[in-house]
Homo-oligomer: A and B are copies of this chain.
Amino acid sequence: MNAMSAMKKTKQQLHESGFKLTPQREATLLVLLENEKEHLSAEEIFFLVKKKSPEIGLATVYRTLEILTELKIIDKVSFNDGLARYDLRKEGAKHFHHHLLCLNCGTIEEVEEDLLVEVEQVVEERYHFLVKDHRLTFHGICQECAEKEKRNKTV
């Protein structure tokens, strides 16, 4: 675990861009680090931060998330549920990881490995498009739901 080192690194990134590391920003970042597998919305982050630092305002959380997105420390994603969610970018990850969204239970799984290396090459060559990043989400049925379904049919 290196929440410490991640925090330190972020602090530096903030300073490099002329931002200050305020307690509010630190608290927000900590929540993001502690929940890196989740895909929290601004409001969810706000409530989690509020638990430890009750004086924080929702607007500050929004403003912090905006800065962190700008610095590419987090990514803003949207899974068609109409609100923005925030996802910590993995240390040194060149590309955004992929998501598996279960249409049945709504769970979001993460796929760390980059499955698009070849596809991106095709896009660059065939469509003359210089790929910088991507957003890929598969919609489908997760293993757990598929098994549940199977069991129900057997019964």
When each residue 118-140 of chain A gets 1 if its CB lies under 8 Å from chain B and 0 otherwise, what string results? 01101100011111111111111
Interface centre among A76, A129, A142 (most CB of B within 10 A): A129
CB distance from A116 to the nearest CB of B (A): 7
A132: B residues at CB distance < 8 A: 103, 139-141
CB distance from A37 to the nearest CB of B (A): 15
Sample of 11 A–B contacts (CB below 8 Å): A100-B123, A100-B129, A103-B132, A115-B122, A123-B138, A129-B138, A130-B140, A131-B139, A133-B140, A134-B136, A134-B139
Interface residues, chain A, CB within 8 Å of chain B? 76-78, 80, 82, 84, 100, 102-103, 109, 111, 115-116, 119-120, 122-123, 127-143, 146
